[in-house]
Amino acid sequence: MRTNEQGDRIRILDGHAEAEDDHIIVRAQHIEYNETTQILNATGSVYFYGLDKNEQIWCDHLEYNRATENGAFFEVRGESSPRAVVRRGVLSGTSPYHFEGQWAQRIGAKYILYNGWVTNCKIPEGGSPWWVMKGPKFDIIPGDRAKAYKSWFILRKVPLFYTPYFYHSLSKEQRHSGFLMPHIAPHTQRGAMVGLGYFWAINRSYDLTANLLDYNTSAFAQSVNFRGRPSEKSDFDLIVNDTIDSAGQPGLTPKQTFSGANILFIGKADLGRGWLASSYVDYVTSFRYRQEWSYNYSEAVGSEFHASALLNKDWSTFTNDVVVSRLENFQTAEIPITLPNGSISGYQRNAVLIHKLPEEQFGSRDRQLFSKLPPWFSLWWSFYSTAGLLYRSEPFFDSTNTNKIGNFQTSQFTPRLDFSPHLTGALHLGSIDLIPSVGLDETFYGESQVQSTLGPGYPQAITHTMSRGTRDFSLDIILPSLERVYGKTVFGDKLKHVIEPRVTYKYVTGIGTDAACLKAAEAAGDVQDAGCSNFNHYVRFDNMDLLADTNEVTLSLTNRVYVKKKDGQVQEIFTWELMQKRYFDPTFGGAVVANQPNIFAATADLTAYAFVLGPRTYSPIVSLVRASPAPGLGINWQTDYDPKSHSIVDSSFGIDYNWKLYHVSVADNEVHANPILMPYANQYTLHLGFGDPQHRGWNGGIQGVYDYRQNQLLQYTTQVTYNTNCCGFSVQYLRINVGVPHGAWEFALALANIGTFGSLKKNERWF
């Protein structure tokens, strides 16, 4: 202890000195503390530890004012605890943020570092970190945010880019306005691309991200992502992508441009008192645009676009929905209109468009009647009703799909009303369960359709109302199951095999035949004119309009294998279901049209593939196999065997296996049916991969879709990623041979807990 000229008492500590209070700890070779001014000076291997935010600083000399919490550190290096970011697309890390500099100034909770660098990489002894941000000034608040001015980003001693200002949040709330890391792609389907984005944190409830991409072939792309949470019970996400293509795809003659826009909106809101509102909009201005600019195979080949808004309330067994929807299904990409001189004057849209503007849906699931019935019998009732204004349009093209020859179109607001009540019983007779059901379906159509002058398969809408009064009866017979239990096997301690037979009879009537039409057809000598079926006069808006007369029985047999593990858990490891229908009305009430695909509710509920080209008395045999005999292994095989052609008409097989960091998936989809029903197809899909997004070291994968009949790879993607303790490097090549074939190299540099730099988007990355 000594006193200076001003009379201040100064405490002095030498050797392994240490001073601490409720907020800091200081260790050094020499410490002097002025009790009057509360100024602490420390020299010689100084260590400073901030208890509040877990920050550590080492320096040669420290000057610190306890009263103001201000200070200066010379020849400084320090660390601050990281905030691990755990979300898709962001590499997580546990390494602390490390900084070094000529000197640093502390002002309250803030540090200003001069002539230094920062990183979040582990620093090897005698080596250098993977990356550093180096600059003349850094402004850091541990646990809050970090700013850099006039700094260079250096990767392995190689400067990558310069930024006059850089901001990164270190807090839980990471939203802060500012420019995003630039996008750079040296090779895309349109040459080199550079892009820049800006994030605007409007307020605590809304934010907006905007990106501009510039291709060197006179194509510009813009994207806007506007997100919001207007209230605690509502949120929305709006994404708009737009591309202006003035040059077109190189090498195409005549020149073709692919400008367009895509809008995606997802929103929901709890309106109170049980009312919920939700909306989903996926709209594209051009399918050709989607195929050209998609870097996702599923997007490039997905031809169906939905937009809907729903207002819903559920109570007791009842549900009420008000729906406004738009469905657009592209049959082909837009067809160019080529002039005699070879130039393109425009494009013809080839898509089915269906609107509901709006539709009210009200119904009740099964509700029990007469609770005092005997225990072996129960009775239930349900109903479903709709009332809506609908619209449908569809262009007709010739067999070459190049010339438009007509169009089907209803009025903008075609009314359709439907009411369908059902009464269902459950009868338990020993080991046999019988489930009978009766119902009716009354439907009114404001318009109908007839065969146009273009011939069969080309309908025309007319302002002629129609009513449909159907009656249906079904009986589900659940027969006793057969069981056998086996002892210890390779799968587990016990294995159980169960066989479940089931028979379902169904009868639907009321659609029938238009007597007046049939009489006129007979007078004309065309007694086989199936256009006289009432079924063929109903306009197709949705699956409700596929209801046709039927008299059928469904036979099904299901094999199940269960295994009991040592820990007592029971798992179903194998399922094989066989189904076939027998039709006692082979023409479905006269609805079958010869030599063209026929799809009815009675056939669509069995398989996804059409199989009716004329009168049928039986369906294909549908086989469904699902197996998971070992952990991580899954097998699925669905196939349809048609006894009429004595062959498998379609098959979908897939197997996938996951073990530790290894991933394997193989699939094959084949169609061998009559080409009138659908084109022949045989496509293989393969995916091989090793790693995961957080795995340190090498990660890699390859994926492809191969069309056997075309002898062509429709799509293939390869990606290699190397993750260190603080950053990751990803390179991906994608090639899509759909529409106009195109490919691109993409890359990304991921910084742990910070973000990603590059052109490879997070939703396109595997690792």
pLDDT digits (tens, 9 = 90+) for 593-618: 888 889 999 999 999 889 999 999 99
Question: Which tokens sit at 404?
Answer: 């438009």
Does the structure show a pLDDT above 80 at 188?
no
Domain boundaries, the chain: 2-171, 175-349, 648-764
Q: Report the run of H or E that residue 521 belongs to, with start and end.
A: helix 515-523
pTM to 2 decimals?
A: 0.83
- Give residue 594's pLDDT: 86
Q: What is the pLDDT of residues 83-94, one digit of tens each?
A: 767 666 678 888
Residues in contact with 715: Cβ distance below 8 Å, sequence separation at least 6, in sequence order: 297, 300, 703, 704, 705, 734, 735, 736, 737, 738
Residues in the chain: 767
* DSSP assignment of 662-685: EEEEEEEEEE-S-TTTS--EEEEE
- Give residue 122's pLDDT: 87
Does the structure show a pLDDT above 90 at 751?
no
- Give residue 173's pLDDT: 56
Which of 189, 303, 187, 194 lies closest to 252 in space, CA to CA? 189
pLDDT tier, 80 (very low <50, low <70, confident <90, very high otherwise): confident
Phi then psi for residue 380, to 5 deg, are: -135, 150
CB 391 within 8 A of CB 357: yes
- The mean per-residue pLDDT over the stretch 700-719 comes to 93
- The mean per-residue pLDDT over the stretch 554-565 comes to 94
Does the structure show a pLDDT above 70 at 517?
no
pLDDT tier, 518 (very low <50, low <70, confident <90, very high otherwise): low
- Give residue 525's pLDDT: 52
Does the structure show a pLDDT above 90 at 547?
yes
pLDDT tier, 530 (very low <50, low <70, confident <90, very high otherwise): very low
The CA dihedral of 181, 182, 187, 192, to the nearest 10 degrees, is: 180
- Give residue 521's pLDDT: 60
Q: What does the mean pLDDT of the chain come to? A: 89
- Give residue 528's pLDDT: 43
- The mean per-residue pLDDT over the stretch 662-689 comes to 92
Q: Which residues of 153-162 are buried (b: 16+ CB within 10 A; e: fewer)?
A: bbbeeeeeee
Does the structure show a pLDDT above 50 at 741?
yes
pLDDT tier, 257 (very low <50, low <70, confident <90, very high otherwise): confident
CB 178 within 8 A of CB 164: no
Please indicate whether residue 561 or residue 673 has the higher confidence score (pLDDT).
561
Residues in contact with 697: Cβ distance below 8 Å, sequence separation at least 6, in sequence order: 691, 722, 723
- Give residue 399's pLDDT: 77
- The mean per-residue pLDDT over the stretch 713-740 comes to 90
What gap in Å lies between CA 346 and CA 336, rounded to an integer? 6
What gap in Å lies between CA 101 and CA 74, rounded to an integer? 8
Q: What is the pLDDT of residues 323-352, one digit of tens each?
A: 999 999 998 888 887 777 777 777 888 999
Does the structure show a pLDDT above 70 at 360?
yes
* Interior angle at CA 153, CA 147 and CA 158, nearest 5: 160
What gap in Å lies between CA 742 and CA 303, rounded to an integer? 18
Q: What is the pLDDT of residues 274-297, one digit of tens each?
A: 999 999 999 999 998 888 888 778
Q: Report the run of H or E that residue 289 belongs to, with start and end.
A: helix 287-293
Q: What is the pLDDT of residues 144-172, one digit of tens each?
A: 788 999 999 999 889 988 888 888 777 76
Fold of 2-171: lipopolysaccharide transport protein A fold (2.60.450)
pLDDT tier, 745 (very low <50, low <70, confident <90, very high otherwise): confident
- Give residue 529's pLDDT: 47
What gap in Å lies between CA 300 and CA 333, rounded to an integer? 11
